[in-house]
Amino acid sequence: MGSASAMKVAVLGGGNMGVNVIEHLRDSPLVREITVFDPDSAKLAKLQHSHGVSTEHELERLLDDVTIPLVFITASNDAHKSLAVRALEAGKAVMCEKPMATNLADAEEMVAVAEKTNGFLQVGFELRYSHLYTRVKQWVDAGLVGRVRNTQCTYCTSAWGRHNVWRAAAGTSGGMFGEKLSHYVDLVRWWVQDEVEEVYAVAAPNVISYYEVHDNYHCTYRFKSGAVSQLTFMMAPAATFQGDPLQNAVSQQAGDGHALRYMLYGDRGAAETDVFLRTLKRWEFGEDAWGQTSKWVENHTWNPDEDFAWFHNTHDQALDIVRRVAMGEPPMTAPRDALETTRLCFAAELSSKEGRPVRLAELGAGVTP
Ligand SMILES: NC(=O)c1ccc[n+]([C@@H]2O[C@H](COP(=O)([O-])OP(=O)(O)OC[C@H]3O[C@@H](n4cnc5c(N)ncnc54)[C@H](O)[C@@H]3O)[C@@H](O)[C@H]2O)c1
């Protein structure tokens, strides 16, 4: 850890995700104090009491505090851009939750400001820290599956449930693709290390009638290399879950209609991940006198108490970001890389809206879902 001294860290947004981050930051030896800003002062008072954090009611005062080098933005999506830009301009390192913003122009502005100020901006794609998905990345990087040709993701989950939730409102959410599915396309971009050229997404009329955003998609996207990825998403079939959506619920949700399975096929082998079955598998392809062969060569699982690390590993993400800022290292994922995932999400929204394939090159600034 070198000689970096412990820092004061700010959390902007004291909802579910803010609490998550506060709890993770407690495990970092590099954090000496956590301060929280949220326009909801009742929430601040509660957090002060329940989590022993300091609180700040004036954003400007927090941004002027030179003893705070790093802020985590865990506010609702419509606040991300303004908070990120102001924090970067105040010289803070910024971790911003996904989606970057509710429209592409805002996301582009965030990256431009990060580059202009030479600032630190990392977007919360924590699946890149997941032990499960990192293993697949290592297999791809080591050439064990060869050139990736095809990936498939099936994701079925329960509704967010509540009426009037900001996540399901078009203006404050920015669209289901960014709010929910950005993780699952970012992961594939990370595995494949190639740029997406074109996307085609279709959505059927909603099951959840009061959502302004789509609750379902079939989406296909094609990379420059020719590799093709497919994502099928459906919200609502899984048993209603009324708890904190961020808690580790793999055991509770297994078998109740939740599904999150990837298949990745290369020209030398394949990989499969299944969160709710807790499985990770690998195959090697070959050829013999009979023809094409496939050999199942690896089969892994993990314990329920490891679910967090193997799935949404926001814990290691938070600690890694603190460490990077303390050591003066760049973000794990460059802002332009996160922006490319964001562009894919908005292209998918545009495609489903216009009922046609969308080339990412045709996306100008200011596209809204
Ligand atoms: N990475 C993940 O897996 C994951 C999971 C859940 C949520 N998230 C993201 O985290 C963010 C927060 O989600 P949540 O579940 O905590 O929502 P939430 O509704 O529980 O909390 C949002 C909080 O933001 C506060 N807020 C609104 N405007 C603000 C502003 N200008 N400045 C500071 N705070 C402001 C609200 O008062 C509220 O307390 C969202 O961007 C969401 O997409 C990410």
pLDDT in tens, 146-158: 999 999 999 999 8
Residues flanking ligand 1, CB < 6 Å: 12-18, 37-40, 43, 74-77, 79, 83, 97-98, 124, 126, 179, 246, 312
Got the DSSP string for 277-293?
A: TTEEEEEEEEEETTEEE
On the question of pLDDT at 245 being above 70, the answer is no
User: What is the position in ligand 1's atom list of the atom closest to the CA of 125?
Assistant: 1
On the question of pLDDT at 18 being above 70, the answer is yes
pLDDT computed for residue 237 by the predictor? 79
The arithmetic mean of pLDDT across residues 319-344, rounded, is 98
The arithmetic mean of pLDDT across residues 302-310, rounded, is 94
Model confidence at 55, in pLDDT bands (50, 70, 90)?
Answer: very high
* Backbone angles phi and psi of 150, in degrees to 5: -160, 135
**Pair 9, 72: CB distance under 8 Å:** yes
Q: What angle do CA 132, 233, 369 make, to 5 degrees?
A: 115
**Cα of 355 to ligand 1 centre, how many Å?**
31
User: What is the position in ligand 1's atom list of the atom closest to the CA of 59?
Assistant: 32
pLDDT computed for residue 40 by the predictor? 97
Residue to mutate (ligand 1; options 76, 78, 167; most atoms within 8 A of CB) = 76
Cα–Cα distance between 45 and 35 in angstroms, integer?
12
pLDDT computed for residue 255 by the predictor? 87
Q: What is the dihedral sign for C-alpha 97, 98, 102, 104?
A: positive
Model confidence at 241, in pLDDT bands (50, 70, 90)?
Answer: confident
**Cα of 115 to ligand 1 centre, how many Å?**
25
The arithmetic mean of pLDDT across residues 250-271, rounded, is 93
**Cα of 91 to ligand 1 centre, how many Å?**
22
User: What is the position in ligand 1's atom list of the atom closest to the CA of 312?
Assistant: 3
Model confidence at 109, in pLDDT bands (50, 70, 90)?
Answer: very high
Instruction: Count each helix (H run) and each strand (E run) in the chain, helices first.
Output: 13, 15
Percent of the chain with pLDDT over 70: 96
**Cα of 348 to ligand 1 centre, how many Å?**
23
**Pair 135, 144: CB distance under 8 Å:** no
Cα–Cα distance between 6 and 330 in angstroms, integer?
18
Got the DSSP string for 179-217?
A: IIIHHHHHHHHHHHTS-EEEEEEE-PPPSSTT-SS-SEE
Mean pLDDT taken over the chain? 94
End-to-end CA distance of the chain: 43
| 27: number of Cβ within 10 Å | 12
Q: Which residue's entry shows tokens 């407690």?
A: 26
The arithmetic mean of pLDDT across residues 32-50, rounded, is 97
The arithmetic mean of pLDDT across residues 101-116, rounded, is 97
Take atom 9 of ligand 1 and give the residue whose Cα is closest.
97
Tell me which DSSP letter residue 303 carries: -
Q: Which of 169-183, 234-248, 283-297 has the highest mean pLDDT?
A: 283-297
On the question of pLDDT at 338 being above 80, the answer is yes
Q: Which residue's entry shows tokens 């299944």?
A: 274
Token digits of residue 284: 């090697």
Got the DSSP string for 248-263?
A: --HHHHTTTT-EEEEE
Cα–Cα distance between 346 and 358 in angstroms, integer?
10
The model's pTM is 0.95
* Backbone angles phi and psi of 73, in degrees to 5: -95, 110
Q: 61 versus 171: which is more confidently predicted?
A: 61
Cα–Cα distance between 162 and 242 in angstroms, integer?
9
Cα–Cα distance between 99 and 179 in angstroms, integer?
6
CA atoms within 13 A on the CB side of 311: 23
Percent of the chain with pLDDT over 90: 86
On the question of pLDDT at 1 being above 60, the answer is no
pLDDT in tens, 156-207: 998 886 777 888 888 888 899 999 999 999 999 999 999 999 999 999 999 9
Q: Which helix (H) or strand (E) holds 115?
A: helix 104-116
pLDDT computed for residue 369 by the predictor? 44
**Cα of 129 to ligand 1 centre, how many Å?**
20
Take atom 31 of ligand 1 and give the residue whose Cα is closest.
79
| Long-range Cβ contacts of 82-86 (<8 Å, 24+ apart) | 83/12, 83/59, 84/110, 84/113, 84/121, 85/109, 85/110, 85/113, 86/59
Cα–Cα distance between 70 and 84 in angstroms, integer?
11
**Which of 127, 130, 145 has the alpha carbon at shortest distance from 271?**
145
Instruction: Name all domains of the chain by residue range, CATH numbers in brackets.
Output: 7-126+315-333 (3.40.50.720), 127-312+343-360 (3.30.360.10)
Q: 314 versus 252: which is more confidently predicted?
A: 314
**Cα of 20 to ligand 1 centre, how many Å?**
11
pLDDT in tens, 198-217: 999 999 999 999 999 999 99
**Pair 36, 44: CB distance under 8 Å:** yes
